[in-house]
Amino acid sequence: MTNFFSELAGKTVIVTGGNKGIGKDIALTFAKLNANVVIAGRDQASLDATLQELQVFNDRCLAVQGDLSQVTNITSLIEKTAATFDTIDILVNNAGVNIPKPAMEVTESDWDTVLNLNLKSAFFASQAAAKYMMAQKSGKIINIASQMAFVGYYKRAAYCSSKGGLVQLTKALAVEWAQCGIKVNAVAPTFIETELTEKMFTDQAFKTDVEKRILLGELAQPQDISGAVLYLASNLANFVTGETIKVDGGWTAI
């Protein structure tokens, strides 16, 4: 029987926002397959803790601290990864933020915070990583978008805008970089049950509204997203580019 995903062993994988939530689960999924995983985020304590978990499976993992809404930190992340591992095979643009507010209350600072991390950082990380992927004539870029790229929802004007832009960015980069051997795709999750969203779902009315919109009747788990990312990173998806896989339990089917 074919040993699926075995080709990911020894690959260099960057996961932005890989220290918490679904990013952490994605990073662990790759580490368990013996990939060299580089995680990036702002919080040093959680980076250190997650790195220890990753190194249980592969001691050739790395944590890089920095605010990725700043392009200089993105450049540093990519260059440090390339200097350490010589190649960059897979980039998962997962770092993101939401500031839930009614549209009439969104400030310029709120807008910039959301767009800078969710969209701007994904572009400049992709641009920086693509330089190395072009040289090796191969690479996979996977953007973590959202079902909110396809539907609207309350208190998410900036967030929906950023994720809609990310889906279109995925297509644009796929078109430009196909000839360079780089595949660019995205995963669009619904609401995920993690320690980061736990507080959000203490609002029972909100949780009930969300669950009734998901046809499968429950929140997604981090491993549901990691599975889609793993597929896109693997040889199983070598003829897939410019695509966004919705992992939304059927939310957008109606």
Q: For residue 69, what is the domain's CATH number?
A: 3.40.50.720
Burial readout 213-223 (b: 16 or more C-beta within 10 A, e: otherwise): bbeeeebbebe
- Residue 1 inside a domain? The answer is no
Q: Sorting pLDDT into bands at 50, 70 and 90, what band is 198?
A: confident
Tell me which DSSP letter residue 217 carries.
S
User: Which residues are identified as catalytic?
Assistant: 159
| DSSP states of 92-109 | EE---------GGG--HH
Whether the pLDDT of residue 199 is over 90: the answer is no
pLDDT of residue 162: 98
In one-letter notation, the amino acid at residue 129 is A
pLDDT of residue 238: 98
Rounded-to-integer distance, Cα 224 and Cα 132, Å: 30
C-alpha separations of 109 from 105, 155, 178 in Å: 11, 16, 36
CA angle 26, 32, 33 (to 5 degrees): 95
Neighbours of 237 (CB within 10 A): 18
Q: Who's near 150: CB < 8 A, 6+ residues apart?
A: 164, 167, 188, 246, 252
Residues 48-58 have pLDDT tens digits of 999 999 999 99
- Residue 66 inside a domain? The answer is yes
Determine the structural domain holding residue 110 and report its residue range: 6-253
**Whole-model pTM?**
0.97
Q: Sorting pLDDT into bands at 50, 70 and 90, what band is 193?
A: confident
Q: Sorting pLDDT into bands at 50, 70 and 90, what band is 2?
A: low
Whether the pLDDT of residue 196 is over 80: the answer is no
- Give the mean model confidence (pLDDT) for residues 188-201: 89
- Residue 64 inside a domain? The answer is yes
Rounded-to-integer distance, Cα 221 and Cα 105, Å: 31
Is the model more confident about 202 or about 173?
Answer: 173
| DSSP states of 29-63 | HHHHTT-EEEEEES-HHHHHHHHHHHHTT-S--EE
Q: Residue 196: exposed, middle, or buried by beta-carbon count in 10 A (0-12, 13-18, 19+)?
A: middle
Rounded-to-integer distance, Cα 5 and Cα 107, Å: 44
pLDDT of residue 1: 39
Rounded-to-integer distance, Cα 140 and Cα 234, Å: 9
Task: Give the chain's domain count.
Answer: 1
Residues 138-178 have pLDDT tens digits of 999 999 999 999 999 999 999 999 999 999 999 999 999 99
Whether the pLDDT of residue 34 is over 90: the answer is yes
Whether the pLDDT of residue 243 is over 70: the answer is yes
- Residue 83 inside a domain? The answer is yes
pLDDT-wise least confident of 26-35, 86-95, 125-134, 189-198: 189-198
- Give the mean model confidence (pLDDT) for residues 20-44: 97
Give which of 151, 160, 140 is closest to 89, Cα–Cα.
Answer: 140
Whether the pLDDT of residue 231 is over 80: the answer is yes
User: Considering the chain, what percentage of its residues have pLDDT values greater than 70?
Assistant: 99
